[in-house]
Amino acid sequence: MDWRGSMWYAEPHPEFFPEGMTLKDWKEVRVLPIIHPAAILSTWYLRDVTIHDLKTRVPMALRRDWRPRPEPTFWAPPSYQQVVEKLEEWLGRGNDSENFWLSSDIETARGVITCLGFADGTDFAMSIPFVRRTEGGFDSWWTVSQEAKIVRLIRRIFSHSNIHIFGQNFIYDTQYIQHYMAVTPKTDHDTMLAQNVMFPGTPKDLGYLSSLYCQYHWYWKEDHKEWNMSGTIEDLLRYNCLDLIRTFETGESQRVLLKHLDMEAQMDFKMKTHELCLRMMNRGVLFDKHRRAQLTFEMGEALGSLEKEILTIIPQDWIGPPGKRAKDKTSVFWFQSDKQTKAVLSDFLGFKVINNRKTGEPTTGKEAMMQYKLLYPEWSGLLNRLRLAGQLDNTLHVLRTELDPDDRVRCSYNPGGTETHRLSSSTNVFGKGTNLQNLTKGEEDD
């Protein structure tokens, strides 16, 4: 799925060259990865993207129109003078125009912004580095006065009333930009959210969007992985520039399609939801510390008593040694381990294996537990205890979440995470907050 639709050239190993052919001959052979027809027959929604790949890319291959000419210009890295002059040029264009668009994107490592870039079209992008790698970690790319000047200009661009910003999942970038540059970017079009509005339930990552909305596409998202561990700064900045021009072209194409589908009002509402999520993230959820401490103690006592009851019914020794948490490797009882719970229900008790409706994989989730209660009413006492233990454990996780100095929990809210447009929450980019959907409804029968 990642590589489908990519416009590549053949590069076989020299050992496999047919007689008389050279590498130069092979480089004229255009290659288009597509979804296998057998996969389409079993997963029908893959048909549409495959038709798109064939209808758009094959005619281009026959015309030998396989790469943009000329290739886009990337300033990666730019000089200090280039950065200042280009940012001032864009500010000047913003002053002269009421409809000037830029795409923006950041890259991060170890909790800091490594680079921030802008593109004003599909033929130019500039990625501004902020750190350089050293033996001990990171050092600043610019002098203090140079960085102060650059950040001041960036802040003006992000807050300029006539400069409109394209972003991809820009609520992520905004958390870093607010923290390190003390400005909230005025995001006018988020490409991830536009896909969620027009085609809910389909992939929304930039690699997938580029394959649908960009004239020239090849998968590039594996070019930059763990830059702080390997690769050069030039690799990182070029990767950032590719993100920028793909985001810009995707955004422009989506705006045309939104108008064609008469969905501009829905997109406006989604962007208002995006702004609301930002305000919620910045304000946080206020916790009553006294009540929180009381509830934590009460629920901890209740969970401990419930765990003893479950282990009386099916002791841990019958199953084997306790499992390990993935994060901190601490021991967990069998009913706290998804793997061991599946083994107890299917292998030990002989329950029917129930698969997740979406993934098709075996599950012991809420829906499965409800089915088990209908199929095996004699085990309803154990199943009720398992469900209640899970609810208590989730609620305790929320109650134990670290508070900020003002007694608030600040989560990251995703306005485009589900096909039903329901908001989802998670830890923010700095590891604070939690998934507030873990809170139980508190049914009376529990």
Same domain, 184 and 225: yes
Domain that holds residue 200: 73-285
- Spatial separation of the C-alpha atoms in residues 354 and 365, rounded to whole Å: 9
Instruction: Compute how many other C-beta atoms are within 10 angstroms of the C-beta atom of residue 221.
Output: 16
- At 321, the pLDDT band (50, 70, 90 cuts) reads confident
Q: What is the mean pLDDT of residues 387-401?
A: 89
Tokens, residue 52: 């798109």
pLDDT in tens, 93-135: 999 987 899 999 999 988 899 999 999 999 999 999 999 988 8
pLDDT in tens, 161-208: 999 999 999 999 999 999 999 999 989 999 999 999 999 989 999 999
Per-residue pLDDT at 444 exceeds 50: no
Same domain, 261 and 299: no
Percent of the chain residues topping a pLDDT of 90: 69
Q: Which pLDDT score, from 0 to 100, does residue 78 have?
A: 97
Per-residue pLDDT at 142 exceeds 90: yes
Same domain, 128 and 50: no
- Spatial separation of the C-alpha atoms in residues 416 and 418, rounded to whole Å: 6
ω into 70 cis (within 30 of 0): yes
- Helix 264-283 to helix 170-181 angle, to the nearest 10 degrees? 40
Per-residue pLDDT at 261 exceeds 90: yes
Q: Which of 44, 57, 161, 49 is nearest to 99 (CA)?
A: 161
Q: Phi and psi for 275 in degrees, rounded to 5? A: -65, -40
pLDDT in tens, 69-81: 999 999 999 999 9
Instruction: Confirm whether 238 is domain-assigned.
Output: yes
Same domain, 167 and 196: yes
Same domain, 266 and 319: no
Q: Which pLDDT score, from 0 to 100, does residue 44 have?
A: 86
**8 A C-beta contact, residue 388 and residue 151:** no
Same domain, 228 and 82: yes
Per-residue pLDDT at 443 exceeds 70: no
Q: Which of 308, 313, 319 is nearest to 344 (CA)?
A: 319
**8 A C-beta contact, residue 175 and residue 281:** yes
Percent of the chain residues topping a pLDDT of 70: 93
Q: Which pLDDT score, from 0 to 100, does residue 446 have?
A: 43
The structure's pTM equals: 0.86
Q: Which of 325, 306, 331, 332 is nearest to 388 (CA)?
A: 306
Split into its structural domains, the chain has a count of 3
Q: What is the mean pLDDT of residues 392-409?
A: 91
Q: What is the mean pLDDT of the chain?
A: 90
Per-residue pLDDT at 358 exceeds 80: no
